[in-house]
Amino acid sequence: MSGREKGFPRAGGVRERVLGLLTLRGTVTEAEPVAARMRRIRIAGSGLAGLTVLPGQQIRVHVDGGLTTRRTYSLRWYDPAGSLDLCVYDHGDGPGAAWGRSVRVGDEVRFGKPEGGFVLRPGASHHVFVGEETASVALAAMLAALPDPSRVHGVIQTATEAGRLPVDHAGRLRWQLRGDRPAAASQQLADGVRALELPAPQGAVAYVAGEARTVQLVRGVLVGERGWPRRSVVTKPFWTPGRRGLE
């Protein structure tokens, strides 16, 4: 069975018609490592042209070829002509991780339209980005949409240097290595935000994503210690230990 056919019903079947109504469809045209434990997957198709995509949004991919098992991935890049990039982080187990490791050029992919409110607010006076590997894709998409590096601040944490996803304005960010320390409830990342020299919060926005308890810690630093208005701290808990996802 070819990659194009793997896991998908025959054309004309009931499930195929349902999928066609509920999802978008594309074909993998590129797949390559982009950082430690992360693959860049490019998906293209005529049905992907002209979508409304905001930096930071995500899609829900049907990783089993049907309707039941979906995993959510942030969009790294979108071309209105009809292609997009995902950068899939390998958590080690589960159907999403298995799909990210095994998907190949020529495979067909089904997914929902771009969605989500964790998006760039382009009118802000300054932008502060905070997160670890699971947040880096959404943050990278936002950073790519900002032409002025002087408005960029933030801390991005990875386990190793090889785990750093290439991003725009990287020199404006502080990069942390946590080594063997857990990414969950990371006091290290919260301390990194404490150490930042930040502009006045009026008109600025912070984007904080990753593990749920770490997100709470960082929000506490910004709101409770640095005096940021709550509405100026946009958060996205992507995961927490013991749970498959927070979507």
The answer on pLDDT for 9 being more than 80 is: no
Decide if 5 is inside a domain: no
d(CA 177, CA 135): 15
Mean pLDDT of 192-215: 97
d(CA 117, CA 70): 19
Return all residues near 242 (Cβ < 8 A) that are at least 6 apart.
none
User: Looking at 46, 78, 111, which one is the last position of a domain?
Assistant: 111
For the chain, what percent of residues have pLDDT higher than 70?
A: 92
d(CA 197, CA 166): 23
Same domain assignment for residues 80 and 153: no
- Phi (first) and psi of residue 117, to 5 degrees: -100, 0
Same domain assignment for residues 96 and 143: no
Same domain assignment for residues 169 and 107: no
Domain count, the chain: 2
Greater confidence (87 vs 242) lies with: 87
Measuring CA to CA, which residue among 150, 151, 145, 129 is closest to residue 210? 129
Measuring CA to CA, which residue among 77, 75, 116, 124 is closest to residue 233? 124
Q: Are 53 and 78 in contact (CB under 8 A)?
A: yes
Greater confidence (111 vs 14) lies with: 111
Same domain assignment for residues 68 and 155: no
Q: What pLDDT is recorded for position 10?
A: 53
- Phi (first) and psi of residue 229, to 5 degrees: -65, 140
d(CA 110, CA 14): 16
Q: How many CA atoms lie within 13 A of 20 on its CB side?
A: 9
Q: Is 139 helix (H, G, I), strand (E, B) or coil?
A: helix
Mean pLDDT of 54-81: 94
What's the mean pLDDT when you consider all of the chain?
92
d(CA 181, CA 171): 24
Q: Tokens for 81, please give them.
A: 């002509």
The answer on pLDDT for 5 being more than 50 is: no
Using CA of residue 199, residue 201, residue 203, residue 205, what is the dihedral sign? positive
Mean pLDDT of 35-49: 97
For the chain, what percent of residues have pLDDT higher than 90?
A: 85
Q: Tokens for 25, please give them.
A: 């469809």
The answer on pLDDT for 243 being more than 90 is: no
CATH number of the domain where residue 185 is located? 3.40.50.80
Range of lowest pLDDT (10-14, 88-92, 194-198, 243-247): 243-247
Mean pLDDT of 47-56: 97
pLDDT digits (tens, 9 = 90+) for 128-171: 999 999 999 999 999 999 999 999 999 999 999 999 999 999 99
Strand-pair category, 108-111 with 83-89: unpaired
Decide if 198 is inside a domain: yes
The answer on pLDDT for 203 being more than 80 is: yes
Please give the order of strands across the beta sheet that includes 174-177: 174-177, 152-158, 127-131, 205-211, 233-239
Same domain assignment for residues 185 and 216: yes
Range of lowest pLDDT (5-9, 66-70, 167-171, 233-237): 5-9
